[in-house]
Amino acid sequence: MKVGGIYVLLHVHVVYTIQQAGFFKLIQNDHKLPGYIIQQKMVDSKAECAQLCITRNCFSFNIDNDNMNEKLCEVNSESLQFQGTSLTPQTGSDHYQKVPDIFNVHAVWYHGNTGNIYALTDDRIVYIYADENSLHKPPMQVTDLDNMLPSLTTNEIHDIQFMYAPTINFTRVFEGANIWLYEKDLPKTSPNYFPKAASFVYGVGIPAAPDAVFMTASAYFVKDNIIFISNGSVIDSYDITDPNPTKEFQNVPVINGITSATETGTTGVFLFFENSAFIRYDTATKLYTKSRLHGPQ
């Protein structure tokens, strides 16, 4: 029948559009995410609900399960990747969450004066997120490293890490065994004649070409899952994957290897990245949650 044919064509288009825009993963049956609904609609299928979710720039949806002919679709402005959200039991309703794209992240750093989180990706592109609670959403700004630090001469982004010191508004750029110091967007060559060997500043024993660097009262360097702590000299080092934590950073569930890490605006909370996947780690409780950085729309 002609009407049926039109329906089939529309249905195929809906599925195709979903595949182009991103996939949705079933998180849990008979549960829903309450409190973040931006639209409700009766639909015929999960594909139709997912399409509505995409058009509303949502991050998850609740939908009546397959036992229902016509299903209530609820699209949400948040997902379980947002800290503090949780599912509640709801018989007959299933919860689906959008799975963001997977991409490389070479360096991440926290800007203490603005609270922004910066992520350096391929082709020297930098994603800027409002804060640590916005990492599951598209970045608020996309720029490139050459616009941010026009005097940065290096071309090897795989070897770069960043550390921001809010008390003096300096950005430290690490490449290999060396360190550059930038005040705002301009390199400082004095005092003490930067660039210089990072070990001259942080002590013999810090790793050359660290996988990640970040700073609180001390400076932290991560290499091959070993963390080195420096207060001008290396005062401790240990394996961050140790499942029996006795140190500040342990029981961190690394799978393939850390590519970057950063402090956050929350005291004692740090982010360890394996490219766009990251671990939110609380040093007080030694507990963690896993999530994924969201790319641009």
Which long-range contacts (C-beta less than 8 Å, at least 24 apart) are formed by 154-158? Answer: 157/106, 157/107, 157/120, 157/122, 157/124, 158/106
Domain ranges of the chain: 2-99, 107-292
Write phi, then psi, for 11 (nearest 5 degrees).
Answer: -65, -45
Provide the pLDDT for residue 6: 40
pLDDT digits 0-9 by tens, 55-78: 887 888 999 987 778 899 999 988
Structure tokens at 21: 């825009």
Q: Report pLDDT for 17.
A: 39
To the nearest 10 degrees (0 to 180), the angle between helices 46-55 and 2-21 is 50
Q: What is the pLDDT of residues 129-145, one digit of tens each?
A: 999 989 988 899 999 88
Q: What is the pLDDT of residue 4?
A: 42
Reply yes or no: is the peptide bond before residue 243 cis, omega within 30 of 0.
Answer: no
Per the CB < 8 A criterion, the answer to whether 197 and 208 are in contact is: no
Q: Write down the CATH number for the domain with range 2-99.
A: 3.50.4.10
Same CATH topology for 2-99 and 107-292: the answer is: no
b vs e for 27-43, b when ≥16 Cβ sit within 10 Å of the residue's Cβ?
ebeebbbeebbeeeeeb
Whether residue 178 contacts residue 196, with contact meaning beta carbons closer than 8 Å, is answered with yes
Say which CATH topology domain 107-292 has. Answer: Hemopexin (2.110.10)
Averaged pLDDT, groups of 10, the chain, 297 residues long: 39 39 78 92 90 85 85 88 79 86 86 88 90 89 82 64 70 82 65 73 88 90 94 92 87 89 92 91 88 82
Q: 92 exposed, middle or buried (CB, 10 Å; 0-12, 13-18, 19+)?
A: middle
